Structure 1
C-alpha cells in the first residue's frame, strides 16, 4: 500500500475500534460497508491487533450489560496476546500488501488466537486480586466426632472435605479413618488434570494421557489401589475405606455413613472448559504476581468467575483408549482382591468404548466460556476500581 492508502487503512481500523468501544457488534466487513468518517490521524500509534478487536466485539455480543464497556475495550485493545501465535495479522483491505502475513477477517480468526488474547486480559484483571487478604472461614469443631483423612480424586476430595468440616468433623488425628475416593478412570484423570492446572501447570489433556500411557503408570494421586494398599500397610486395614461412585453426593453419603454423620446433596463441579482456559492464563499470571500469589488467586477467585459451565465429561484420547481400559482393569482387579473395605463396584473404574464422547476440549467451547469468565472478572475489577 502507498502511504495515502496506509493512512486510510489505519483510519478505518481506528474508527472500527472506536465503534466497538461503544458496544457495537458489527464485524469488520459490515463496518467497511458503512460510510467512512474523516480520517483520524493519531500519529504513529500502533493499531490494535485483529484478535483484540474481535475479542472486544464478541464480549459485547456475549453480554450487552457489562459496566464501563469502553474501559474494558481499552484494556483489551492494549493487551498483547501472550505465547506463540499469529503475528501482526492485518485486516482485509482493497489494496492489501502482497508480502507479509496474509489478511484475515477478524471474525474468522482461529479460536486459539482469541483465547491467547483472553488469557492476557484475564491475567491483567486477576493480578490485583493478589493484594486482597483471603477470608478466614470459621467452622465448628466437635472433638467427640471421628477424625477423617481423604485421599484420591482431587475435586471429589475437596467437595467432601468441605462438607465434612462444615459438619464439625476433624481432619486427621491419631485414630483417623482413611478414605480413598474414586470413580470412573476418565473422571479421575479429569480431576487430576484440573488439580495440576490449578497448581500452576500448563498441561494439556492429551499430554496427561500420553505421559501416563508412555510410562504405563497412572498419576500417583489417583492410583487408588496403590494409595489404599500403602495406607493399609502403614496403618490398620480396618480403618481404610475405598469409596467408588460416579457422583459426589453418593460419595458423601457413603463416607458420612461410616463416620456416623448426616450426608446431603453436593453439586458436581464441571470444569473442563475452565481448566483448559486456566492452563493458558497460568504462565502470564504467574509472571505478573509470582506463583505463590497466583495460587492464592486461583484458589480464591477462579472458582467464582469460572463456575457454571454445562459440558459433557471428557473421555480418554482415542490413541490411549486401549491403555486406559487395560489400566482400569488392572486397578479394578487390585481393588476386588483387597483386604480393606471397598464401597461400590470396582468395575466402575474401567473405561468403556462409547460413541460421541469428547476426547479433547473444543477450542470454540473454551472460547465461549472465556467470554463469560472475562465478563465476570471485569465486573469484579470494576467493583474495586473507582
Structure 2
C-alpha cells in the first residue's frame, strides 16, 4: 500500500472510532473511499483509549450517561488531549510513514495500560477542574464544644474533621486537646500515601515507601510523637487513640461516620489526576478539587495498598521505635500502644494494577454520574 493509501486508511479508522466503532487498527481494512485528510492523525494512545471507551459504551458501562449525541464531543476531547507526563510526542501508528526521529510506530492494541492512563487521567483532570470543588458544609461554631486538634491517621482525621466542621465543631480554640489517631503502622503508612494522592499528589506507592525507608524516618503525619510536639501538646491535654470506637467520645460527639477507605486503584488514579490538576489550577486550589474527587470517585471493591514484604522489617522496627517514644513521653493512651505494631498478616494487594486503574478511569469517562451536581447543605460562613 502506498503512503497516501495507508494514511487514508488511518483517517478512515479515525472516522470509524469517532462514530463509536470498536475494530482494532490491524483489523481495519477500509479507507472509507476518501483521500487522506490534511488533519494530523491523533496518537496511538488517544485512538486506543477511544476504542476502549467505545467498547465500554457498547457493553453497557456507559448506558446511564454516554448518550449518542454526546459521543462526538467525547471523541474530540479524547483525540485532542495530550498524554500527561514525560513531555514526549504521541506514539505514531504502525504501518504509516515514520520519521527517523522520535518514538517508534506501535500497534494501538499493544499500547500499555500505563500509556493509556496518561491520556485518561488528563481527560478526568479537565472534568474535575470544570466541575469545581464541592462546597464545604459549615454551621456556626458551638461555644460549648470541646476544643481539639486532630493528628495522626490522615484518612480517619480528614473524614472526622469535615464531619465535625459541619456540626459546628471546628478544630482549634484555647488549649485544645491534641488527639493523635493511631493504627498499625503499615495501615498508617498506606493511609498517609493514599490521602496525599487525594490532596497534592505523590510519587508511586513503592517509590514513596522506599524513600522513607532509605532515610529510616517516618513521614510527619505518621510519626505520632512528632505530630503532638509540633502542636505543643502537653501531657494532660494529649490523647493517643488506637481504639477508633472510643474516638468520638474524645472529640465530644456520640458517633462519627464510617470512614471510606480508598482502594489501590482509586488512590493511583487520584495520584495521576492530581499531577495534571496541578498544571491547571494554582497549588492552593488543588486540595479542595482532589477532596471533591475523593468524595465522588466510584467504589470498585479493590483492596487498599499494602506494604510489600521487603519493607515489612523496616516497618516493624519503626513501629517499635515509635511505641518506645510514646511510652517514654507518658501520654494518656486510649486503647493499647501494642496496636501500632504492623498487622501480622501482610496485605494481599501491595499496589495498584494498571489495568484496574484504567478500568476505573474508563468507567468515569463514559459514565458522568460522578460529575453530576450533588445536593449540598447550605454553607454558613463563620
State how 1:32-181 maps to structure 2 within 5 Å. 32=29, 35-43=30-38, 45-62=39-56, 63-65=61-63, 66-67=66-67, 68-84=70-86, 87-93=89-95, 101-129=103-131, 135=135, 137-181=137-181
- The alpha carbon displacement at 1:50 in A equals 0.9
- Cα RMSD of the aligned pairs, angstroms, is 3.1
- The alpha carbon displacement at 1:182 in A equals 1.8
Q: Deviations over 1:179-238 (max 9, x none)?
A: 10121212211222133334434422122212211111101111013334665xx44423
Of 266, 269, 283, 2:261 maps to: 269
SS, match of residue 187 in structure 1: helix
Aligned residues: 365
Q: Deviations over 1:99-140 (max 9, x none)?
A: 67554332221111101111222233333345x7x6352325
Contact 1:85–1:113 (8 Å) recurs in 2:
no
What is aligned with 1:29? 26
SS, match of residue 15 in structure 1: helix
Contact 2:261–2:304 (8 Å) recurs in 1:
no
**Which moves more between the two structures, 163-172 or 200-209?**
163-172
Decide whether aligned partners of structure 1 residues 378 and 107 sit closer, same or farther in structure 2, where only a CA change above 3 A counts: farther
Contact 2:137–2:166 (8 Å) recurs in 1:
no
2:327 is aligned with 1:327: no
State how 1:151-230 maps to structure 2 within 5 Å. 151-228=151-228
- The alpha carbon displacement at 1:158 in A equals 1.1
Of 308, 312, 326, 1:317 maps to: 308
Of 295, 301, 306, 2:297 maps to: 306
Q: Deviations over 1:317-354 (max 9, x none)?
A: 34322211211222233345552221223233222464
By relative contact order (CA 8 Å, sep 6+), the higher-ranking structure is 2
Q: Deviations over 1:142-197 (max 9, x none)?
A: 32232221111111101122233344434222242221012121221122213333
In 2, the alpha carbon distance for the partners of 1:92 and 1:145 equals 66
Of 276, 285, 289, 1:293 maps to: 285
Q: Deviations over 1:261-320 (max 9, x none)?
A: 311541422143233223323343322333233333223x32244242322122223432
In 1, the alpha carbon distance for the partners of 2:296 and 2:26 equals 33
After TM superposition, the score normalised by the length of structure 2 is 0.83
Q: Which runs of 4+ in 1 moved over 6 A?
A: 95-100
What is aligned with 2:241? 243
What is aligned with 1:248? none
SS, match of residue 305 in structure 2: coil
2:331 is aligned with 1:340: yes
Contact 1:186–1:314 (8 Å) recurs in 2:
no
Decide whether aligned partners of structure 1 residues 266 and 348 sit closer, same or farther in structure 2, where only a CA change above 3 A counts: same
Gaps of 5+ in 2: 375-382
In 1, the alpha carbon distance for the partners of 2:271 and 2:189 equals 16
After TM superposition, the score normalised by the length of structure 1 is 0.82
Decide whether aligned partners of structure 1 residues 311 and 336 sit closer, same or farther in structure 2, where only a CA change above 3 A counts: farther
Contact 1:50–1:90 (8 Å) recurs in 2:
yes
Decide whether aligned partners of structure 1 residues 305 and 170 sit closer, same or farther in structure 2, where only a CA change above 3 A counts: closer
- The alpha carbon displacement at 1:88 in A equals 4.5
**Which moves more between the two structures, 107-116 or 288-297?**
288-297
